[in-house]
Chain A
Amino acid sequence: MTTCALRRWFVVHKWTSLVCMLVLLIVCVTGLPMLFSEQIWEVFVGDDDPPYEVLPPGTPDVSLDIIVEKARALYPSQIITSINPDDDEPAVLVSMAPSWQALKDDENHPDRHSGHWIKFDARTARVLKQSRPANTPKEPRTWTGIILSTCTRLHMNLFAGLPGALFMGAMGGVFVASLVSGTVLYGRFMKRLPFGSVRTDRASRLTWLDLHNLLGAATLVWAMVVGFTGLINELQTPLFGLWRVTDVRQILRPYAGLPVPSQDHLSSVQAAFDTAAKAVPGNEVTGLSFPGASFGSPVHYVLWTRGATPLRARLFTPVLVDARTGELTGAYPMPWYLRFLEMSRPLHFGDYGGMPLRILWALLDVMVIGVLVSGLVLWAAKRKIATDARLRALGYELDDIDSAPAFAETVR
């Protein structure tokens, strides 16, 4: 490699690293509590839900239609917006609201929440819990909640919504560039050093450089994968938006102008679940949205299904079932870019291999923090050298404590 090319790579590495340094330190630190958020919740908050009734094993779930009826009987003047059977508990969550319009109006009033939910036992259709009514004073926030939500928002968008997310995505791209240039420089610097040498007997700058190289080489692939999948994750809002204005709009066009039928005259919810399960074999149905939801059709149940294996667990395939007749309209797999997004998520979250994988994720994260800090130290030390050289060139005597008189003398 020519000196000129090396210098260029060095400049690229220095500037890309400096640009994303602060953001990376933030995401590395905030990512740690996010990794263990479930455990943190369990330990510090726990849930105050009543225990489930003990029923003989194999007790079948009641029909969802019975749960729908019960929910309607509790709030006769309201509409049901969605039904979500729980993943791992025998519970069904029914979300309700005064009307679709009320939910839409909520968007303009951040303090108003007209939607609420009821949790039913899936086997007995008994009410287990309800969300707190909107007019009661808010539950005091726990420290755990405040810390975790601050971390999550800092990590995702620095409290700046979509612009923040796109900015973080750009920083992800810069980070990948910094890793690539760092790898090139590694090849140059390590030419005469065996792998893993950490020189502690010479200038401390060399120790930092060797640590930077060792930690960087050991975490390179992990950092590349997590950085790149993080970039992809930050693009989720525009990517889902793209899907909405292209394929989804195309699918819903024939129904766009139709009025939303009254919820008393809709086809069976349980039958819609069964139809959807049959339409996408190998997928499990995770929820149903009622006709009229802002993202859906005015006359269809939207059923959300997802792959049953962990790799495909985030691959959602919405299924439309006509809520007037109960007939299947179609299943619509996500386009390639959303599949790519959803498949890359586990590789960013590290949540797919049990507790040991989370711990390894955290340790690798700490090592990357080590790479960042050592890089920062190297840069700061270099800056000091450069500044000192400049000051010396101007005539300051830096090693002297009384540098000002020395300067005065040289001037004289």
Chain B
Amino acid sequence: MNAVSSDMSMPPSPDVTPRPSVAVWPWPIALGLLTAFGLLSALLGQHGTWLALSWAALSIPLIVTVAYVLRAWCRTPSVKGGQS
């Protein structure tokens, strides 16, 4: 216990971690699972609810992408390179 708390009180060395690393995979995995679920639920379910769930699940990766692109676009109205 003591050892751990003394470790934590030490300031992090800035040389080793210039920028904090972020969790890379949660988003891609979540979108991938949603896609897989969407593809399969329509194929195996074939009826009302399952079809609607499939459409919803497959829309989410599209919506997320568009949202992030729009966010970047709005932040800098004079976009360099001019792409969307």
Residues of chain A touching chain B, judged by Cβ–Cβ distance below 8 Å, are 183, 186-187, 190-204, 207-208, 210-211, 214-215, 217-222, 225, 309-311, 346-347, 352-354, 356-357, 360, 363-364, 367
Contacts and interface: CB of A to CB of B under 8 A. Distances in A.
Interface in B10-26: 19-22, 24-26
B65 A187 contact: no
B4 interface: no
Interface residues of B, number: 41
B69 A211 contact: yes
Contact of A200 (B31, B55, B73): B73
B39 A222 contact: yes
A193 B19 CA distance: 9
A127 to B, nearest CB: 36
A236 B31 CA distance: 31
B83 to A, nearest CB: 7
Interface of B: 19-22, 24-28, 31-33, 35-36, 38-39, 42-44, 46, 51, 54-55, 58-59, 61-62, 64-65, 67-69, 71-73, 75-76, 79-81, 83
Nearest to A201: B76
Contacts of B51: 353-354, 356-357
Contact of B31 (A190, A221, A310): A221
B81 to A, nearest CB: 3
A214 B65 contact: yes
Contact of B72 (A200, A222, A357, A364): A200
A309 B31 CA distance: 28
23 contacts: A193-B22, A194-B22, A196-B27, A197-B72, A198-B69, A200-B79, A203-B80, A204-B80, A214-B69, A217-B27, A218-B61, A218-B62, A220-B31, A221-B33, A222-B58, A222-B61, A311-B44, A353-B43, A353-B55, A357-B42, A357-B54, A360-B55, A367-B65
B43 A311 contact: yes
Contacts of A208: 81, 83
B81 A186 contact: no
